[in-house]
Amino acid sequence: MDLAQTRSGYDAVADRYAAEIGDELAGKPLDRGLLAAFAELTAGGPVLDVGCGPGHLTAWLGGRGSAVAGMDLSPGMCAVGHRTTRLPYAAADMTALPVRSGALVGLLCLYAVIHLDATARAAAYREFARVLRPGGYALVAFHTRDAGTGPGGERVLSEWWGHEVSLTFRFLDPDGEAAAMAGAGFQRAARLDRAPNVGAGPDAEHASERAYLLMRRR
């Protein structure tokens, strides 16, 4: 993975990204349900939204009482999040989180590990386990397939909203990711697979199947 290319790509589209998807949860009842369960399970302690983008999920959790902060590889995304939500944000690489070991009760990471290859994802999962206290929860989501690509495949985006980018989006196997997280120190609490656009219109999101893993730190 080229961190610099991923960072610059998301920096370039940060404002447009926030405008396009900032209210996406309004049409995603299953996502809201999972986030509400995650917020309840992690109540009473600090939570980190890793790969937070412009902070719309960070803000959703904060609005429901979570002591949450956002972290993203892109400083541009963090700047948008801070400007629009006034919650704390920091730019960082998820494979080397600047967080004290055992500091968190919850870690959210939706559609961010898709930019990592298998080696980097394993490193990220070890970091997730390191920063969570025993019994803490991680909720991780990723794409599994779309009309042309299945688990193990990838798509490369070279242009996004008029900006030249170089971003790789990977489609992952839920069983493989659950096993990788188990190897990092997690046990599975729940899994949800869903089709695209559940509860929303056909243009609400990329038409991909998705998986959500709720994992508990051993």
Long-range CB pairs of 195-203, under 8 A, 24+ apart, other chains included: 196/146, 197/27, 198/28, 198/29, 198/30, 199/27, 199/28, 199/29, 199/30, 200/27, 200/28, 201/27
Q: Say if CB 139 and CB 190 are below 8 A apart.
A: no
**In the prediction, which pLDDT does 155 show?**
95
**Which H helix or E strand runs over 141?**
strand 132-145
For the stretch 25-60, pLDDT in tens is 999 999 999 999 999 999 999 999 999 999 999 999
State the pLDDT at residue 202: 67
**Average pLDDT, integer, range 181-189:** 98
Sequence-separated (6 or more) residues with CB below 8 Å from residue 40: none
* Residue 62 burial (10 A CB sphere; 0-12, 13-18, 19+): buried
CA–CA distance, 92 with 182 (Å, rounded to integer): 24
Spatial CA neighbour of 25 closest among 205, 214, 208, 213: 205
Q: Specify the pTM.
A: 0.96
Residue 93 has pLDDT above 90, yes or no: yes
For 155, the 3-state DSSP assignment is strand
Q: Are 66 and 44 contacting, i.e. CB atoms less than 8 angstroms apart?
A: no
More confident residue, 204 or 24: 24
pLDDT band at 197 (very low <50, low <70, confident <90, very high): confident
Please give the pLDDT value at position 1.
53
Q: Residue 204: pLDDT above 80? A: no
User: Apex CA 62: angle with CA 48 and CA 13, to 5°?
Assistant: 70
Indicate whether 201 pLDDT > 80. no
Assigned fold of 3-202: Rossmann fold (3.40.50)
